[in-house]
Structure 1
Amino acid sequence: MSDGGFLEIQPTELKFPFELKKQSSCSMQLINKTDHFVAFKVKTTNPKKYCVRPNTGMVLPRSTCDVTVTMQAQKEAPPDMQCKDKFLLQSVIAEHGATTKDITSEMFNKEPGKVVDEFKLRVVYVPAGPPSPVHEESEEGSSPRSSTFENGTQSLQTLDSVSRSNEPSKEKSPEALAMISKLTEEKNSAIQLNQKLRQELDLLRKERGMHHGGFSVTFVVLVGLLGALIGYIIKKS
């Protein structure tokens, strides 16, 4: 901070974040702590390299003025990042009520009995700051990664639901169920009849053993027909 002369200057050095092939800007604030209108003018040793806005102006009493200096993109870095460029800020007391339009180059000429305050500022290059870190947490406190995982889970659940809906239905129609029930009943009846015939056959065999007799041809034929009928019913079911 410079508090000498008519204007207080903050800061006293122009610090530019330096990065090849990129423009860089910095600013300074001019503070008028007097009760006078103060006109200022900014000069530089390398006018093609820098752009100053505003390069001339009027600072009202007890007020401030911001000046922005932009450095054009540089193709090469200077040795040891040292810059020899300089800026000169000139200030002079102006008439009361003067405006920027009233400023002329002659106002800053040094003449006997006229005070022209001058302040030199040097240029400093500083390394460009690293990119700002990515915030891992969202406003609701959940990270994008967890949100992605949750979305993936929902997608899998949706896909599973669609796959299930596309599977062929395993339910059978009422007609098919009725046919199966009927065939099952016929099968059970045939099995019971077969068991009953076997019991009667065993009983007849026992009686034959007791009486040493034999079966009639009619009985044998009847048993054969019943066996064939039972076999047909079982195969059909």
Structure 2
Amino acid sequence: MATELLEIQPQVLKFTFEVKKQSSCSIQLGNNSNQYVAFKVKTTSPKKYCVRPNTGIIKPKATYDFTVTMQAQRVAPPDMQCKDKFLIQSTVVPFGTTEEDLTSDTFSKDGSKYIEEKKLRVILISPPPSPVLLPCNGALKQDPSSETLVQRLLSGVENIPPPRKVAEDAKLIETAEELDELRAAECVDSRPSDDVEGLKSVKNVVELNITKDFEDMKSKLNTMDSKLREAELTITKLTEERNMTTVEKDTLKDELEMLRKNNVRRIQMGFPLFYVCMVALISVAVGYLIHP
């Protein structure tokens, strides 16, 4: 194509690098064409950066902003050099296309459509030096001499203050440090009674809580002891009842055996009725035959 689809600002991603801190960089994409353009952002270190959003649709002659966030790093790279790169792909899509319509095939290089690619480098920048703060009437104020010195260093002007001025500044800083130490000592000396009273109150509260917990535990133990005693009595009663039942069972067995023996003896000692009747009938028949 004669003209580029997208205009990217900035061309280089600059991140202010601080250990264990995130850093963000905003990028603006401008659509130079009269058509809908879809874009996709890729990086060589996907776990290190977070791009929101990484795909989108840009209407004709419109702009689109997205943010790249560098995750917090534990160690600074050597010499603050970064080899990471970003790739922005763009292609023309039909009118009315939405972000939900974009797929992985939209940016595939199959030869039937034009895919424009632009690479962006990454540069790491050190954070600006913090200004020197000096105490003044209990409040921290910025030292004008340090601010002037930082401005001169940033502007490239080498203007070293005379030794007398440096000595005065050092003496002023030492005096400020001594004042801070004295104020800290005064604050510590002025609060011992409050701390002691606070400790006493905390101690009393802790003792009350411990006493309450001890009483609760004691009452629970007493309740458990009474329940155990009741259980022991119940077990003793059940044991006695079982023993009595066993004794009664044995007694009944003995009585049953005795009854069985008595019945056997009675059967052996007496004559059956049927036998007596048969003998009587036979005797009558014999008598009738003898005396017709």
- TM-score normalised by length of structure 2: 0.44
Return closer, same or farther for 1:127/1:144 CA change in 2, 3 Å cut-off: closer
Secondary structure, counterpart of 1:111 in structure 2: coil
Deviation at 1:113, TM superposition (A): 3.0
How far does the alpha carbon of each residue in 1:19-70 deviate from its partner, in whole angstroms, 9 at most, with x for none? 1110000011000121100000000011000000110000111110001000
Secondary structure, counterpart of 2:66 in structure 1: strand
Task: Note if 1:22 corresponds to 2:50.
Answer: no
Q: Which residue of 2 aligns with 1:64?
A: 63
Secondary structure, counterpart of 1:129 in structure 2: coil
| RMSD (Å) for aligned C-alpha atoms | 2.2
CA contact (8 A) 1:17 1:129 kept: no
Cα distance in 1, alignment partners of residues 132 and 106 from structure 2: 50
Q: Which residue of 2 aligns with 1:86?
A: 85
Q: Higher relative CO (CA 8 A, sep ≥ 6), structure 1 or 2?
A: 1
Corresponding letter in the other structure for 1:112:
G
- How does 1:40-119 map onto structure 2 within 5 Å? 40-119=39-118
CA contact (8 A) 2:28 2:63 kept: yes
Q: Which residue of 2 aligns with 1:232?
A: none
CA contact (8 A) 2:40 2:56 kept: yes
Deviation at 1:144, TM superposition (A): 9.3
CA contact (8 A) 2:4 2:32 kept: no
Cα distance in 2, alignment partners of residues 69 and 26 from structure 1: 5
Deviation at 1:125, TM superposition (A): 0.2
Secondary structure, counterpart of 1:20 in structure 2: coil
Secondary structure, counterpart of 2:73 in structure 1: coil
How many residues are aligned here? 135
Return closer, same or farther for 1:22/1:108 CA change in 2, 3 Å cut-off: same
Secondary structure, counterpart of 1:9 in structure 2: strand
Corresponding letter in the other structure for 2:57:
M
Cα distance in 1, alignment partners of residues 92 and 53 from structure 2: 18
- How does 1:192-207 map onto structure 2 within 5 Å? none
The structure with more helix, counted as a fraction of residues: 2
Mark the runs of 5 or more structure 1 residues left unpaired by the alignment. 135-142, 146-237
How far does the alpha carbon of each residue in 1:70-110 deviate from its partner, in whole angstroms, 9 at most, with x for none? 00011111111100111000000011111111111101011
Cα distance in 1, alignment partners of residues 131 and 58 from structure 2: 36
CA contact (8 A) 1:15 1:123 kept: yes
Deviation at 1:4, TM superposition (A): 5.7
CA contact (8 A) 1:39 1:94 kept: yes
Cα distance in 2, alignment partners of residues 118 and 17 from structure 1: 26
Secondary structure, counterpart of 1:128 in structure 2: coil
- How does 1:26-41 map onto structure 2 within 5 Å? 26-41=25-40
Mark the runs of 5 or more structure 2 residues left unpaired by the alignment. 134-138, 142-292
Cα distance in 1, alignment partners of residues 30 and 15 from structure 2: 21
Deviation at 1:5, TM superposition (A): 2.3
CA contact (8 A) 1:8 1:31 kept: yes
- TM-score normalised by length of structure 1: 0.53
Return closer, same or farther for 1:144/1:47 CA change in 2, 3 Å cut-off: closer
Cα distance in 2, alignment partners of residues 128 and 120 from structure 1: 25
Cα distance in 1, alignment partners of residues 32 and 47 from structure 2: 33
Deviation at 1:133, TM superposition (A): 8.7
Task: Could you list the structure 1 runs, at least 4 aligned residues long, displaced by more than 3 angstroms after superposition.
Answer: 130-134
Deviation at 1:132, TM superposition (A): 7.4
